């Protein structure tokens, strides 16, 4: 993919459905009694991996050609033993959440994924699931492939070492199969889509600050899911609209769940011109967001904000490189264990473009305002690095190249077409 500096992006756009909500609609739809109709489903590779895994466990899932998915639930105890390994591709969410579900089944299973998944930490789920009685093992007790045998689960109270929705959800989903309630205590609130969807399906879930308790239900009741547009995908265009001179972009129907909207808070703190309109709620709060170009300035990003914008940090680093003054990102060591080491990747690629960036132990310091120039950018086979550097390329003098552009299909198959439609 060859990219050039842009004179301005204009128009309105609907980005694809939320990846986190799409995954959970299939998982919980499969475990519910009845049929779940999902609209706005993300047809990205990660969510298709989730569909594939549940089909291998006997769940009928019909995929329409207009982002609709129909999940024919089999009930909490209706999954059947897969005849082959469950392959989760590049998807950490599929791998970790499904591990919680598989721990409560009466059959054995093996989970495996691509080269990136085999490097991502799984010890963090193995430890609490074992405490619950799960019979689960991995390579060195830390990595995929994971082997899971039938186990009898009991409720636990578990304090998470990191604010991670995947870890929290794996434990809560195993808790559906436990003989007593399960409580998870988070260091800071992480995305709460699992809790919301479980409640909507009739399961008792109490949230008291950072303390979440799930009560094992008799059954889940299927409920249709309208997936909002993904704020993590919208973020690329919000940053593009803010930094590309002369732009005005409206992103429609964006999910603004308070556990996910940290990117809006930070862009506002940086001086971005954002207008939120047409607010509504359909299980998840949504609105339309209009961004107009403005001069950004540096800011501080850390603490409890981090889990609320963890996947948006790479593109926020691009915004910071275009801002006047210094931006400090701290408390973000989790970025090192995503599809790539996103701290090292962004420091390297922004430096390649001429930005002044220093890597720190838990984040980076970006001294913005240096003139940026085009380059051949690496993606580290990470969709969010590819899209972040594509947005950066729009403000670089000269041409940029992204060789591994197909990686965007993980979460946003249509990304480059959408950018072209806005004038990129």
Q: Which residues bind ligand SPQ (CB under 6 A)?
A: 19-20, 46, 91-93, 164-166, 169, 190-191, 310-311, 334, 338-339, 384, 411
CB count in 10 Å sphere of residue 34: 15
Complex with ligand SPQ: residue 162 or 289, whichever CB lies closer: 162
* DSSP state at residue 230: P
The CA–CA distances, whole Å, from 144 to 58, 89, 108, 119, 120 equal: 23, 12, 15, 8, 8
Cβ–Cβ under 8 Å, residues 29 and 55? no
CB count in 10 Å sphere of residue 57: 21
Q: Cβ of residue 4: shortest distance to ligand SPQ, in angstroms?
A: 27
Q: Cβ of residue 24: shortest distance to ligand SPQ, in angstroms?
A: 8
The CA–CA distances, whole Å, from 149 to 104, 182, 410 equal: 9, 21, 30
Distance CA 335, CA 404 (A): 21
The per-residue DSSP string of 17-46 comes to BPHHHHHHHHHHHHHSBSEEEEES---SHH
Strand 182-185 and strand 204-208: the pairing is unpaired
Torsion of CA 62, 72, 80, 118, to 10 degrees: 50
Distance CA 246, CA 256 (A): 26
What is the helix (H) or strand (E) element at residue 38, kind and residue range? strand 35-39
> Could you confirm whether 311 is annotated as catalytic?
yes
Cβ–Cβ under 8 Å, residues 68 and 39? yes
Q: Cβ of residue 311: shortest distance to ligand SPQ, in angstroms?
A: 4
What is the helix (H) or strand (E) element at residue 166, kind and residue range? helix 165-175
Catalytic residue among 46, 261, 311, 382: 311
What is the helix (H) or strand (E) element at residue 356, kind and residue range? strand 356-360
Complex with ligand SPQ: residue 190 or 327, whichever CB lies closer: 190
Q: Cβ of residue 243: shortest distance to ligand SPQ, in angstroms?
A: 21
Report the length, in residues, of the chain: 424
Complex with ligand SPQ: residue 197 or 396, whichever CB lies closer: 197
Q: Cβ of residue 277: shortest distance to ligand SPQ, in angstroms?
A: 27
Query: Closest residue (Cβ) to ligand SPQ?
Result: 92
Complex with ligand SPQ: residue 69 or 244, whichever CB lies closer: 69
Q: Cβ of residue 119: shortest distance to ligand SPQ, in angstroms?
A: 12
Q: Cβ of residue 307: shortest distance to ligand SPQ, in angstroms?
A: 6
Can you say whether the dihedral through the CA atoms of 97, 102, 103, 108 is positive or negative?
A: negative
Complex with ligand SPQ: residue 20 or 293, whichever CB lies closer: 20
Helix axes 123-131, 92-103, angle to 10 degrees: 20
Structure tokens at 16: 């694809």
- Compute CA 283 distance to the chain's CA centroid, rounded to the nearest angstrom: 18
Q: Cβ of residue 158: shortest distance to ligand SPQ, in angstroms?
A: 15
Structure tokens at 211: 């303390």
Complex with ligand SPQ: residue 93 or 99, whichever CB lies closer: 93
Complex with ligand SPQ: residue 352 or 384, whichever CB lies closer: 384
The per-residue DSSP string of 285-334 comes to EEEEEEEE----B--EE-GGGGGGTGGGHHHHHHHHHHSBEEEEE-S-GG
Complex with ligand SPQ: residue 223 or 338, whichever CB lies closer: 338
Would you name the residues annotated as active-site residues?
A: 311
């Amino acid at each position: 993919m060859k990219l050039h500096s842009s004179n301005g992006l204009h128009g309105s756009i609907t980005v694809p459905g939320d990846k986190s909500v799409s995954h959970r609609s299939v998982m919980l739809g499969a475990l519910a009694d009845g049929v779940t109709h999902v609209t706005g489903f993300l047809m990205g590779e990660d969510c298709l991996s989730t569909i594939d895994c549940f089909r291998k466990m006997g769940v009928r899932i019909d995929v329409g050609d207009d982002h609709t998915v129909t999940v024919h639930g089999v009930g909490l105890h209706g999954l059947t033993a897969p005849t082959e390994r469950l392959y989760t591709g590049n998807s950490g969410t599929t791998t970790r959440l499904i591990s919680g579900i598989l721990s409560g089944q009466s059959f054995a299973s093996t989970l495996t994924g691509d080269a990136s998944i085999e490097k991502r930490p799984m010890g963090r789920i193995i430890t609490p699931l074992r405490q619950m009685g799960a019979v689960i093992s991995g390579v060195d007790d830390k990595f995929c492939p994971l082997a899971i045998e039938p186990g009898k689960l009991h409720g636990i109270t578990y304090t998470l070492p990191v604010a991670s929705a995947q870890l929290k959800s794996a434990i809560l989903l195993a808790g559906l199969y436990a003989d007593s309630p399960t409580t998870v205590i988070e260091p800071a609130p992480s995305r709460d889509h699992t809790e919301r969807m479980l409640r909507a399906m009739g399961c008792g879930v109490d949230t008291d600050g950072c303390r979440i308790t799930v009560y094992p239900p008799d059954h889940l009741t299927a409920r249709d899911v309208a997936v909002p547009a993904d704020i993590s995908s919208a973020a690329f265009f919000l940053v593009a609209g803010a930094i590309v001179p002369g732009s005005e972009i409206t992103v429609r129907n964006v999910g603004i769940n308070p556990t996910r909207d940290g990117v809006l808070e930070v862009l506002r703190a940086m001086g971005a011109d954002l207008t939120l309109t047409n607010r509504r709620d359909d299980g998840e709060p949504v609105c339309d967001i209009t961004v107009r170009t403005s001069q950004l300035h540096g800011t501080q990003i850390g603490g409890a904000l981090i889990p609320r914008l963890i996947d948006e940090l790479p593109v926020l680093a691009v915004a910071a490189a275009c801002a006047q003054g210094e931006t400090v990102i701290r408390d973000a060591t989790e970025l090192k264990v995503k599809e790539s080491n996103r701290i090292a990747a962004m420091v390297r690629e922004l430096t390649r473009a001429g930005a002044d960036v220093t890597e720190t132990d838990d984040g980076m310091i970006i001294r913005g305002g240096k003139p940026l120039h085009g380059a051949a950018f690496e993606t580290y086979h990470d969709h969010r690095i590819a899209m972040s550097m594509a947005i950066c390329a729009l403000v670089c003098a000269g041409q940029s190249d992204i060789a591994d552009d197909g990686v965007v299909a993980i979460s946003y198959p249509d990304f480059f077409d959408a950018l072209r439609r806005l004038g990129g």
